[in-house]
Structure 1
Amino acid sequence: MSQSRAQSQPLSQSPSHLSSQAVMMALGSAILMGTIGALARTANLEASIITFYRLLIGAACLIAYMLATGKARQILHRPGKRHLFNGAMLAGFMVFYVQSIGYINMANAVMLIYLAPLVSAIGAHFLFHERLTRQDLLAIGIALIGVVAILPSLESLTGSTAELKGYGFALLALLSYSGFMLINRRPASASPYQSTLIQLSFGALCLLPFALHQAVMPSLTQWFWLALIGVFPGFLAILFAVKALRVLPAATFGTLAYIEPVTVVILGWSLFAEHLTPMQLMGCGLIICAGLIQTRKRRRAPRPQ
């Protein structure tokens, strides 16, 4: 047993290995997060119901994974206040996002929400003294130009009550997601699995009263979509995000997270005929370029642990 531990130790302590793995997890999380809009529309349920089951099924999947991989002792532990608060942030982010796409299209909602990486990168700079390099600023700037290119022009906005509600919910999702990323950047004694489990479980608990108030029994088809929501943008996406945030600076994680709006735009175009203009296609390309810049940076100069 000591021999296997000794063999695994260099791998677990290798900054290059950890950095590359964290980049892949950040990208995987962004792509999986990007599927929630399409899955939520297909499930055709209230935002609070969808988010409740996303968190609940995600927590159940994580418990099953921890039991299967010998991490059962980590399940029962005393959660910290920070993780409980972040569970509420996570639930708020998910509910507000799903609520917003009921009023505006997925691309518009997610592009506003994805000012969150910029907000969190600036917040981490002042709160945690994470230095923003020229390459970080370049990547963030390119990503923001891409976001602006995908957003609708001011002339196309109608100013209707429904549209204002949609952008209002998207703004609340932006603030919640910024808080989620910043809180997960702080050092924690709990493992990533414990942090994720508490955030998923407490988030579901926050939404339980709303789910009970709705008193909706999903159909068999809706259960299928809810299961997919719980496993992919629930369990896997959140676990990957929490683990990546333990290694990557907020600026790097935030830039890689811009792959999510690209995923949303592509799914909206391919599944719901939300057509892309040449300007929006250019925006998607710029966002991908920004992600590639940060990926190359992590490979060249891994952050020491």
Structure 2
Amino acid sequence: MSRPSPRLAALGLLILCAAVLGLAPILVRLTDTGPAAAGFWRFLLSLPLLALLCARPGSGGLGLPGKWMVVAGAFFALDLSFWHYGIVMTSVANATVLCNLTPVVVTAFGWIVFKETPKRLFMLALGLALGGAFAMAAGADGAQGTNPLLGDIFSLSVALWYAGYFLAVKAARATAGAMRITFWATAVGVVPLLLVALMLGERIIPASAGGWAACIGLAVMHVFGQGGVAWALGRLPASLTAVTVLIQPVTAGLLGWWIFGETLTPVQALGGALVLGGVVLAQWSSRSLPAPPTKTGAEAKAPAPVSI
């Protein structure tokens, strides 16, 4: 039996990791801590596992953080600070959808900076996915979260921070492996998240065993989800990766309906279908684009890790 092409393997892994990341808003609500504190534990508890993965033979080790890894960590800390508050204030579906409107920014930067010229069919796919995302947000019943409007605004601002993270990781992947980048981007964000939680007077320590379990779950999800996205960014165009990650809000919306009983209106369900359709169309439209080179610098000496 012939092995799948590297591009197909990267797409498959990216889809799986995007679905895993859809667990994040569910776990944040179960941590029994403040929103920023949940991000702090997500980062802190993931570092030992990330360090272990970086220490594997042939992985290149931890080394020192490059400038793009530091930039990625700063953007990611801002991302989680605003997004975790959005999760509490609005619905799980809205918070996840609005923060994932990054493809607009990522596609523009990918076009200008990385010379990844999008096809017309890809732009149609992007519009379809974004239309579905807006439908999921606009179709909410308005009775979800503590402050839906402010939560939606916070979640929308995250689109900029997440785009910055995406593009910084894309730049870092030219010379470093996925797990090394994920480790340093995570390490950079630990202290800022703790400071935000302390300044806002949040509960830092989980109040129950279930809260600790949720924090550990967030850490494991972070390693495999974000590590997988970083790995895919070394093999796929940034714009395609950003659109595919829009699977997150679909997963989060279904889980929010199942676990928290959040209403999934017909408009939201239609929006989810449009997002999935846009993701499929984006992948199909980009099938002939060459994957960006990854075997440079440090990675030229050893194969990039594929098990994350």
Short-chain TM bin: 0.7 to 0.9
2:121 match:
135
Q: Is the 8 A contact 1:56 1:201 kept in 2?
A: yes
1:170: Cα distance to partner?
1.0
In the alignment, which residue of structure 2 is the partner of 1:263? 251
Deviation at 1:299, TM superposition (A): 5.1
- 1:219-270 per-position Cα deviation (integer Å, ceiling 9, x unaligned): 32211111111001x1111100111111111221112111001011101111
Distance between the aligned counterparts of 1:112 and 1:125, measured in 2?
22
- Write out per-residue CA displacement over residues 3-22 of structure 1, whole angstroms, 9 at most, x where no aligned residue: xxxxxxxx9xxxx7321122
Structure 1 CA distance, aligned partners of 2:194 and 2:58? 27
Output the TM-score relative to the length of structure 1.
Answer: 0.85
* 1:148-167 equivalent positions in 2, closer than 5 A: 148-152=134-138, 162-167=147-152
Q: Does 1:220 align with 2:191?
A: no
Partner of 2:157: 172
Work out which of the residue numbers 164, 169, 178 in structure 2 matches 1:184: 169
Does the 8 Å CA contact 2:106/2:167 hold for their aligned counterparts?
A: yes
- Runs of at least 4 residues off by over 6 Å: none
- Match 2:39 to one of 51, 56, 65: 51
Match of 1:70 in 2: 57
Q: Does the CA contact (< 8 Å) of 1:66 and 1:72 recur in 2? A: yes
Alignment check: 8 A CA contact 2:53 2:179 kept: no
CA deviation map 1:86-145 (0-9, x unaligned):
101112112211111211111122222121112211121122221011221121011012
User: Of 180, 189, 196, which residue of structure 1 is paired with 2:182?
Assistant: 196
Q: Which residue of 2 aligns with 1:229?
A: 218
Distance 1:34 1:153, change over 3 A: closer
Whole-angstrom distance in 2 between the partners of 1:58 and 1:153 = 35
Counterpart in 1 of 2:30?
Answer: 42
Which AA in structure 1 matches 2:253? V
> Aligned-residue CA RMSD in angstroms?
2.5
Q: Mean Cα displacement is larger for which, 202-211 or 259-268?
A: 202-211
Provide the secondary structure at the position in 2 that maps to 1:167: helix
Structure with larger Rg = 1
For this pair of structures, how many residues does the alignment match?
286
| Corresponding residue for residue 7 of structure 1 | none
Aligned residue runs from structure 1 range 8-157, under 5 A: 17-67=5-55, 69-71=56-58, 74-75=61-62, 77-152=63-138
Is the Cα contact below 8 Å between 2:73 and 2:185 reproduced in 1?
yes
Please give the alpha-carbon distance, in whole angstroms, between the structure 2 residues aligned to 1:66 and 1:21. 21
The 8 Å contact of residues 28 and 84 in structure 2, kept in 1 or not, is answered as yes
Mapped to 2, the partners of 1:53 and 1:161 lie a distance apart of 23
Q: Is the 8 A contact 1:258 1:291 kept in 2?
A: yes
**TM-score, normalisation: structure 2:** 0.84
Counterpart-to-counterpart distance in 2, 1:184 and 1:242: 6
CA gap 1:148/1:164 in 2 versus in 1, 3 angstroms: closer
The answer to which structure has the higher helix fraction is 1
- Select between 116-125 and 237-246 the one with higher mean Cα deviation: 116-125
Shift, 1:27, TM fit? 1.0
**Which residue of 2 is the match for residue 6 of structure 1?**
none
Match of 1:280 in 2: 268
